Chain A
Amino acid sequence: MESAFEPTEPNTGEEFEPVDVFPDSDDFDLRPGSDSCYKCSTCDTNCPVAEVDDEFPGPKFQGPEQWRLKQSEDDYDIDDSVMDCSNCMRCDNACPAGVPLSQMHNTARGEYVSEQMDHLSIEYWRNRILSNYRTSAWLASKTPRLANFAMNLGPARWLMEKTMGVTKEREFPEFATETFREWWDKRGAAAGSKERAQAARRERGLPEDADKKVAYFHGCYSNYNTTEVGKAMVRVYEHFGYEVVVPEQGCSGTPMFANGMLEDARRHAEVNVSSMSDLVDQGYDAIASCTSCSMALRQEYPELFDIDGIDDLAANTFESIEYLRIHEDIREEIQAAEVSGELADEFAYHAPCHSRNQGLDRQAVELFRELDGAGIEDVGESCSGISGTYGWKAEKYEKSMKIGDEMFDHMEHAEGETGMTECPTCAMQMEHGTGYDIRHPLELVEAALVDGHAV
């Protein structure tokens, strides 16, 4: 019995194997996860939704309590309040005992959506469309100018709210006229990248065939909307001598988890795991520039799915700045650099919740506070409130803005009038609440280190 006497070992969700209790579905038995909970309520006090919504029972109920009360009988329903959780995953981070809260929420939500939600309801289809953003974005990217114009037309937005429950308060993100992948192909794709990486290695005095190669998981947003982030990633990595490849990929699944669309998420995960894990086998590391994408690949995938290669991929996935901080002396280069031009600015930085869970919430501040020509200020610990698709739903819009209030407030008080964050939807919310331009840390690294970033 010795091994049961292990009070300090947090229950990371790895000690027990989640078991497929209902062999035909994706549901795991997560009851054992509630063994670690000692009801301290720290998770509840850290939940941004519970803070603004008295009706929301909070993560403690949603996770360990609901799972413990659940039985494998079919008619043990999931409470519908799980749809009010924004999947910000702050509770995960807050829990001192390592209760796998977000895994519990994601699994319960999946079960709720597939078994209890009306599949003909507008809510279901609205959520399904929102969470399959990649599909809409792909369509829009075919005629980006028309999409940008049409989607943001007053009547169109009004109609979306009335018929679909998508809030009319928000402006739809702008679609790039050339997607990141189109740019990438034109630029010579992997072969071109290899040449540039080799040139950079020569310049740095590294062997030309140094083992520096990464597979870029760009996600939907930097492909269709903020392509400048994807481009910055490629240029910065090449600058450090990395060969970049851009494998076939779908959506990371983040919006689908949050909407309980686990079937959709699994389909995409299968594509991603299959292409990315092949590369991992060949010695590539997987890099994401969006903190929710890296979160999905490294934590949610292995928690929710059982796909060949999924654990290897999880173990070799990194966020883009994190990776450079581990493997390169980026700090010294930034200290020596000076930024000028458009990005020589003061930034109000918000750490996305999902970056917090990966321990990355201080990376941008720690890096850029030593950069001449730019300033950065952390606007605090609060959640932006949008949580991906959450803040797009008409009925959640106000809640989302209420959660964001604290961040907006701190942004206004910060010196800078430009925002910075790693997460594209946090960026949307920051822009929506303050009217500031929002940049990604990679853009600033690029401006500081990559000269004449033309190609």
Chain B
Amino acid sequence: MASVPHIAVIGGGSTGIGIARDLAMRGLDVTLVEQGNLTHGTTGRMHGLLHSGGRYAVSDQASANECIEENKVLRDIASHCVEMTGGMFVKRPEDTEEYFEEKLEGCKACDIPAEVISGEEARAIEPHLARDIDKAITVPDGAIDPFRLVVANAASAEEHGARIETHSKVTDLVVEDDEVVGVEVEHQTGPDKKVRGTEGGTEQIRADYVVNATGAWAGRIGDMANVDIEVRPSKGVMTIMNIRQVDTVINRCRPKGDADIIVPHETTAILGTTDEEVDDPEDYPEEGWEVELMIDTLKELVPMLEEARTIRSFWGVRPLYEPPDVGSDDPTDITRDYFLLDHEERDDLHGMTSIVGGKFTTYRMMGEEISDHVCDQFGIDAECRTAEVPLPGSEDFSVLRDYMDEFGLRSPIGRRSVERLGSRAEDVLNTDGPNPTVCECEAVTRAEIKDAISQSGANLNAVRIRTRASMGNCQGGFCCNRMASELHGEFDEQITREAWDALLQERWKGQRHALWGQQLSQAALNYALHATTQNRDNDPADGEPVDFAAFDSGPTPTGTSGQTGVVTDGGTRDGD
């Protein structure tokens, strides 16, 4: 092989993007294709826990070891995505003493720093903990923002020459003589799609090697080349609270069970989760009782959750895998470890490897292992540097906090902006023009929105995951229109309207699961506001081009919105 090998990576979740960055940094030629936005899959619907390994310290020590190792690495290379909140395993009177001891021993065995504290000490750290918590084990759990992390990985991969194609679905594998030699890709058309890649149409991307990092979808890619990959998708619900009732990760110290963890995430707290096998990773029921279960069970740890405001709920699907000979019945028994499936060894199919299972926390380690494997195929001896080189945004971030005043922003707004932007803060926030706050709930200013638009084009859901704009308590009621108006100048009306509609649809999706009490008032207010000021009640003039005369003839029963089937990143299901 004379020239640099070209590797095609399928899947823009944490696993795929980690592989792309690693291979690009080792000097390989990389193309990553993702059917939706980055984080369209499970990565965009996870809990945001940077595992210390404590959760696996009893049941799965191999995973626990990997977690603590990567936990340390990510604190370093991704400091602007990580908040070291610390965590604890709390024991209620009905939880067994034996398990508590096992947990402690397990942590020690895996070199996870763990200490026992009394119930009082735990409440001194987290005052809203239930009065009857006996004691707790502290561990170095943290919170991590998956969106920011994946975007930063993508930026780094691109800096090293990788091509990242979002909204590009692999429809087939190109197989010649039992060897995968490329992928058929369908690029989405439509103006609100990311503008950086090739727009519209199909493309055959030839590659010297293909990596299948499609998580819960891995079996479908396998099917394209007639190989079996038995991923067992298992769904889990997560419920987002309006505020952080806790500033520390709170785990329940008992063997396994639903609803046993609360993770402080940015301005919110996320309750989770369940573990239930589903047939189709894209089409499964989202049920009200699951949300109630979260609140009803976790209020045993933090009683105020019962009265607290819930802003939305979402579901994710674990790409669990177990070697065919294990045969667990219960998905909670399936290992959380990852597997590298070399199809040459396994199925006599050359040119492709799949990576399945694993966790977000260990994404980098998985990337390293698979990159080693790919390099081996070509006899390349290049060193992995992803554990040392900080991600864009995490270089020398600490000094910046001292200069926050210079951006002329009010205290919590500047503070939050800098936390999100990390070392990029100066470039992004030092603007000449006025810099009003666009999203008040999450303190996102125009400068940050503009910066996100420059990265993702007229795709407001992509802007959202980069900035958190519209993710606060009004759930976009007051800022979606402002975000859309930031597209003015660069994009025409039609594109802007589509991007705006897609954002509103996505915001509505998760809120449907929180329609009681305060969030119901919010939704009612948002509706009234959007109907009366933005014509969201589908006045007949809401066509294209706008038929202003139609305002006079009153509404017709058929509206243009009411679109269903949106997923977390605002794309439609199945990436189309």
Q: Which residues of A contact B (CB under 8 A)?
A: 1, 3-7, 15-16, 19-21, 23, 29, 31-32, 34-40, 57, 60-61, 65-66, 68-73, 75-81, 97
Contacts and interface: CB of A to CB of B under 8 A. Distances in A.
A39 B410 contact: no
Contacts of B242: 34-35, 68
B440 A39 contact: yes
Nearest to B305: A4
A320 B412 CA distance: 42
Given A19-B128, A23-B124, A35-B308, A81 B410 contact: yes
Nearest to A34: B243
A32 B440 contact: no
Interface stretch (B91-99, B105-113, B513-521): B513-521
Contact of B412 (A29, A32, A35, A70): A70
B409 to A, nearest CB: 9
Nearest to A80: B411
A19 B412 CA distance: 21
Contacts of A5: 516-517
B127 A4 contact: no
A1 B127 contact: no
B304 A39 contact: no
B410 A35 contact: no
A19 B127 contact: yes
B59 interface: no
Given A29-B127, A69-B416, A80-B411, A35 B518 contact: yes
B429 to A, nearest CB: 16
Interface stretch (B170-178, B180-188, B448-456, B471-479): B471-479
B309 A35 contact: yes
25 contacts: A1-B292, A4-B306, A19-B127, A19-B128, A31-B243, A31-B245, A34-B243, A35-B309, A35-B518, A38-B525, A39-B473, A39-B477, A39-B522, A61-B440, A66-B411, A66-B412, A69-B267, A69-B415, A69-B442, A73-B247, A75-B401, A77-B411, A77-B412, A79-B411, A97-B521
Interface in B398-422: 401, 410-413, 415-416
A68 B124 contact: no
B474 A4 contact: no
Contact of B474 (A39, A75, A77): A39
Interface in B442-488: 442-443, 472-474, 477-478
A3 B292 CA distance: 12
Contacts of B411: 66, 77-80
Contacts of B521: 7, 38, 97
Nearest to B519: A38
A-B CB proximity, top 3 nearest: A35-B309, A79-B411, A69-B412
A79 B410 contact: yes
Interface string B376-410: 00000000000000000000000001000000001
A376 B141 CA distance: 66
A81 to B, nearest CB: 7
Given A1-B292, A4-B307, A19-B128, A77 B415 contact: yes
B244 A16 contact: no
B306 A31 contact: no
A7 B520 contact: yes
Interface in B114-139: 124, 127-128
**Chain A interface, >50% SS class:** loop
B308 A7 contact: no
Interface of B: 124, 127-128, 242-245, 247, 267, 292, 295-296, 304, 306-310, 401, 410-413, 415-416, 440-443, 472-474, 477-478, 516-518, 520-522, 525
Nearest to B308: A35
Contact of B441 (A65, A70, A97): A65
Contact of B415 (A34, A76, A80): A76
B239 to A, nearest CB: 11
Q: Which of B292, B309, B442, B472 has most chain A Cβ within 10 Å?
A: B309
B307 A16 contact: yes
Contacts of A70: 412
Q: Which of A16, A38, A61, A66 has most chain B Cβ within 10 Å?
A: A38
A91 to B, nearest CB: 16
Contacts of A78: 411
Contacts of B401: 75
A68 B441 contact: yes
B145 to A, nearest CB: 15
Nearest to A72: B247
A7 B478 CA distance: 21
A308 B325 CA distance: 67
A78 B410 CA distance: 9
Nearest to B440: A65
A35 B441 CA distance: 12
Contact of B247 (A3, A35, A61, A71): A71
Contacts of B441: 39, 65, 68
Given A4-B306, A19-B128, A69-B443, 18 more contacts: A1-B296, A4-B310, A19-B127, A20-B127, A21-B127, A34-B243, A35-B242, A37-B473, A38-B522, A39-B440, A39-B478, A40-B525, A66-B412, A68-B472, A68-B473, A69-B412, A76-B415, A97-B518
A16 B306 CA distance: 11
A68 B306 contact: no
A7 B517 contact: yes
A3 to B, nearest CB: 6
Contact of A32 (B245, B472, B474): B245
Contacts of A32: 243, 245, 304, 308
A38 B473 contact: yes
Contacts of B518: 7, 35-36, 38, 97
B146 to A, nearest CB: 20
Nearest to B478: A39
Nearest to B310: A4
B307 A1 contact: no
A80 B409 CA distance: 11
B419 to A, nearest CB: 10
Q: Which of B243, B416, B472 has most chain A Cβ within 10 Å?
A: B243
Contacts of B474: 38-39
B403 to A, nearest CB: 14
A1 B295 contact: yes
Contacts of A29: 127
Nearest to A77: B411
Q: Which of A20, A68, A75, A76 has most chain B Cβ within 10 Å?
A: A68
Contacts of A68: 242-243, 267, 441, 472-473
A431 to B, nearest CB: 36
B516 A31 contact: no
A53 B346 CA distance: 72
Contacts of A73: 247
Nearest to A116: B411
Contacts of A76: 412, 415
Contacts of A79: 410-412
B5 to A, nearest CB: 46
Q: Which of A5, A7, A57 has most chain B Cβ within 10 Å?
A: A7
A97 B309 CA distance: 13
Contacts of A69: 267, 412-413, 415-416, 442-443
A3 B518 CA distance: 12
Contacts of B310: 4
Nearest to B309: A35
Q: Which of B410, B520, B525 has most chain A Cβ within 10 Å?
A: B410
A3 B413 CA distance: 34
Contact of A4 (B267, B443, B516, B522): B516
A123 B203 CA distance: 68
Contacts of B516: 4-5, 7
A34 B244 CA distance: 11
A15 B518 CA distance: 14
Nearest to B516: A5
A23 B123 CA distance: 11
A3 B296 contact: no
A92 to B, nearest CB: 18
Nearest to A33: B243
